[in-house]
């Protein structure tokens, strides 16, 4: 049932964490970001 046929690993969140820690996310406020590989769609 998983789109990529595998479970996520902690390192799959690296890019998201870098984005949120960067200045590029200065406008993100109180958002829920689903890092679920599209499973929640």
pLDDT at 36: 80
Residue 10 exposure: Cα atoms within 13 Å on the Cβ side? 0
C-alpha closest to that of 3 among 38, 27, 41, 40: 38
Confidence (pTM)? 0.63
In this predicted model, what pLDDT tens digit does every residue of 3-41 receive, in sequence order?
A: 677 778 899 899 999 999 999 999 999 889 888 877 766
pLDDT at 34: 85
The DSSP secondary-structure symbol of 10 reads G
User: What is the separation of C-alpha 16 from the centre of its chain, rounded to a whole number of angstroms?
Assistant: 5
Alpha carbons 20 and 6: distance in angstroms, whole number: 25
């Amino acid at each position: 049932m998983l789109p990529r046929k595998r479970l996520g690993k902690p390192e799959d969140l690296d890019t998201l964490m870098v984005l949120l820690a960067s200045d590029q996310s200065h406008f993100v406020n109180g958002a829920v970001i689903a890092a679920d590989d599209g499973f929640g769609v």
